[in-house]
Amino acid sequence: MIAKSRGIVLSYMKYGDTSIIARVFTEEYGYGSYIVNSVRSQKSKKSIGHFQPFSLLDLVLYLKETRELQRISEFKSHHPLHYIHNDMTKSSVTLFLTEVFSKLLQSEQSANPDLYQFAEESIKAFDLLKKNIANFHLQFLLKVGPHLGYAIDDIENLFSSTGKLAPSNEEYHTMDLLMKEPFGTDILMSRTTRNSMLEIILNYYQHHAHISRPKSLEVLRSILN
């Protein structure tokens, strides 16, 4: 079956001499892995740069029920990103978020239009963000929770489920701002507080979604610090 969908690239790995396997969250079919043939060939007319993390693509998919891996037969940019892949801080945040988001999407094997719309609009906003970039990953992970069915928008529940009985007034206020304010809002935090907020969020997802600790966490911290 030939099908069309928009998709968000999360990662890829080399496959064979000239192909890749891309992990993509699609609007119509949810999260999945797809073979992209010959994209690494010197004769390919399409650049492998289309498959950088968080790239937004228009896809033509070749789907077959008997295959474990489906195939992307055609692709083009849906919305060009101008800054995410050229800025060291943004690219580090992107690498971290695509790793965590991939883990959270493991159960999203069918369409989730609200989640897809949130993710796509968030990526577009992040690309254009000029300030408070260091808070984006915190806000994204907090705001995406309800779209995945996790009650991470309840601050008391967020803290208690990670072993902390109650947040301090400062922690509560900071987490409330991160949840409610738009991306790019001035939310002043020390490096210690930012790391603490991230640990609470990650512990929540590790407890409720059973995800493993992200390998890119230390790289992110070294860049942001």
Residue 127 reports pLDDT greater than 90: yes
Distance CA 160, CA 165 (A): 5
Q: Give the tens place of pLDDT for each residue, 28-63.
A: 999 999 999 988 888 777 888 999 999 999 999 988
Which of 8-12, 19-23, 72-76, 158-162 has the weakest average pLDDT?
A: 158-162
- Measured CA to CA, the distance from residue 102 to residue 27 in angstroms comes to 15
Q: Percentage of the chain with pLDDT > 90?
A: 68
**Residue 106: Cβ-neighbour burial (10 angstroms; 0-12, 13-18, 19+):** exposed
- Domains along the chain? 2-77 (2.40.50.140), 88-224 (no CATH)
Average pLDDT of the residues in 119-147:
95
Tens-digit pLDDT profile for residues 62-83: 888 777 788 999 999 999 999 9
Residue 219 burial (CB count, 10 A): 13
Q: What do you get for the CA distance between the two ends of the chain, in Å?
A: 48
